[in-house]
Amino acid sequence: MDNPTIAPVPATPARTRKDGQALVHGELVLWEDKTWVDVCPVPCCCLAALCCSATSWTVTTLRIDKQSGCCGTTERTLDLRRVTDLSYQASACCCCCRGTVVVHAADKDTGEMNITTWNTKPMYHNLKTAWSRVKAGTAVSMADADGDGIADGDAS
């Protein structure tokens, strides 16, 4: 009797973002895009793409990455656990689906990040949900710091 051969299972390719960085286990991309308004005001921002001065954003369930400057010379990453507050503000022409998501951070170096572009409201809602989940996970892990399954503040 011949032994049946087991077909090799192809390796799952590593998930990557548009900028080529790999995602960690469980991390999902919520939004990726480029903005030009923070570099130069309207209507000049229409020419910003020609000057290599666009800001690239990647918002995931774990972090927010911002790449800016001439040809992406400056990078900044904000861990969602460091976010203290989120807000959304529609532009004056709210019927045009343009708005700003403001991310407030705990550290003074980051301060706040403003993401101003089109269709930001769905991204804001997804980011708010991811932030709530990260905060809930942090609260649970901090309450049970010694890993015994009992919150350290519980006497029972």
The CA distance from 35 to 75, in Å, is: 14
Query: For residue 38, what pLDDT is reported?
Result: 53
C-alpha 127: how far from its chain's center?
Answer: 7
Which regions in the chain score pLDDT beneath 70?
1-15, 37-52, 72, 93-96, 139-156
Cβ pair 102, 51 in contact under 8 A: no
Say what the pLDDT of residue 18 is: 87
pLDDT at 139: 66
Bin 44: left if φ > 0, else alpha if -120 < ψ < 50, else beta. alpha
Domains and CATH numbers, the chain: 29-37+52-139 (2.30.29.30)
38's tokens? 């923070």
Confidence (pTM): 0.70
Q: What is the pLDDT of residues 64-83, one digit of tens each?
A: 999 987 776 788 999 999 99
- pLDDT for 70: 75
Query: Residue 66: its pLDDT value, please?
Result: 92
